[in-house]
């Protein structure tokens, strides 16, 4: 359904467009242009690299920047120690990269760069991106599980204390809940980011349309919508952090299943 002309289209912000005239780039007949999504992924990686690099001075008495980086790594370290135990130590690099990448992506997508005419693109609001991240976590779980436990990994589908007469049903339910994990992981991040951005866009269209239709409607509708927008922006910053945390937390829980069964 296309928006009428003159209206703000809330889905336009999610459009992926080729940049810098690269739309004719092809490999084996497939178009691989350098898109705004790829650009913002690159920006996220650069920002993350600079952030971590600034804290790698390894001073004995850490400065503010080093404290910021170390509190992040310490946070992920604690998360894995609490959820996976001692075996979780080796996943700290992966979970840290995952958490910081998603956190930076969500935060960069919220930057008010529209004021200077740059459109920040939240690539975590695309199922392709979050789906790949979720599949990465899921395949690590599968690889670790099968390499550590072999075919014994399938005992994951039969929890301890399952009554014999329920053995025909429980493994089936556990299998479905196991297979649905990558979808729920990817869907949660993608929809949470998309919903927030659509909401902000809809509220901004309220402000613009009401301000255009005279001072009365501008005061009655526009100003409350604008105040609500500011509040929702604060909520979105919270959601950006929570969703990155939930992604890292659920990945570490799944890794716990793979490491220790249950």
By CB under 8 A, name the binding residues for another protein.
1, 11, 79, 82-83, 184, 187-188, 191-192, 194-195, 242, 245-246, 249-250, 253
174 to 45, 131, 141, 149, 155: CA distances (angstroms): 36, 21, 15, 18, 10
- 215 and 262 Cβ atoms separated by less than 8 Å: no
Q: Give the bridge partners for 26, in sequence order.
A: 31
- 106 and 120 Cβ atoms separated by less than 8 Å: no
- Looking at the Cβ atoms of 49 and 75, the one nearer to another protein is 75
Least distance from C-beta 248 to another protein, angstroms?
Answer: 10
CA 235 to CA 200: how far, in whole Å? 11
Least distance from C-beta 1 to another protein, angstroms?
Answer: 6
Token pair in block for residue 249: 């937390």
- Looking at the Cβ atoms of 55 and 236, the one nearer to another protein is 236
Least distance from C-beta 195 to another protein, angstroms?
Answer: 5
- Looking at the Cβ atoms of 139 and 184, the one nearer to another protein is 184
CA 131 to CA 142: how far, in whole Å? 16
- Looking at the Cβ atoms of 80 and 108, the one nearer to another protein is 80
Least distance from C-beta 246 to another protein, angstroms?
Answer: 5
């Amino acid at each position: 359904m296309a928006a009428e002309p003159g209206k703000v289209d809330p889905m336009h912000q999610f459009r992926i467009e080729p940049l810098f005239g690269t739309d004719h780039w092809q490999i084996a007949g497939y178009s691989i242009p350098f898109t705004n999504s790829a650009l913002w992924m690159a920006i996220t990686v650069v920002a993350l690299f600079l952030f971590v690099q600034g804290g790698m001075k390894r001073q004995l008495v850490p400065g503010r920047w080093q404290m910021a980086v170390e509190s992040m790594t310490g946070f992920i370290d604690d998360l894995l120690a609490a959820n996976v135990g001692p075996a979780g130590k080796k996943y700290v690099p992966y979970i840290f990269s995952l958490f910081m990448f998603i956190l930076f992506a969500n935060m960069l997508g919220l930057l008010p760069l529209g004021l200077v005419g740059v459109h920040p693109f939240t690539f975590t609001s695309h199922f392709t991106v979050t789906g790949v991240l979720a599949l990465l976590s899921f395949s690590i779980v599968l690889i670790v599980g099968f390499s550590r436990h072999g075919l014994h990994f399938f005992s994951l589908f039969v929890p301890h204390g399952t009554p014999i007469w329920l053995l025909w049903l429980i493994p089936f339910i556990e299998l479905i809940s196991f297979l649905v994990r990558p979808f729920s992981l990817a869907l949660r991040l993608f929809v949470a980011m998309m919903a927030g951005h659509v909401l902000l866009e809809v509220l901004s269209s309220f402000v613009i349309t009401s301000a255009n239709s005279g001072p009365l409607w501008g005061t009655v509708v526009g100003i409350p919508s604008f105040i609500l927008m500011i509040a929702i922006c604060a909520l979105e910053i919270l959601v950006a952090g929570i969703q990155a945390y939930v992604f890292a937390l659920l990945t570490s829980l799944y890794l716990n299943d793979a490491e220790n069964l249950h």
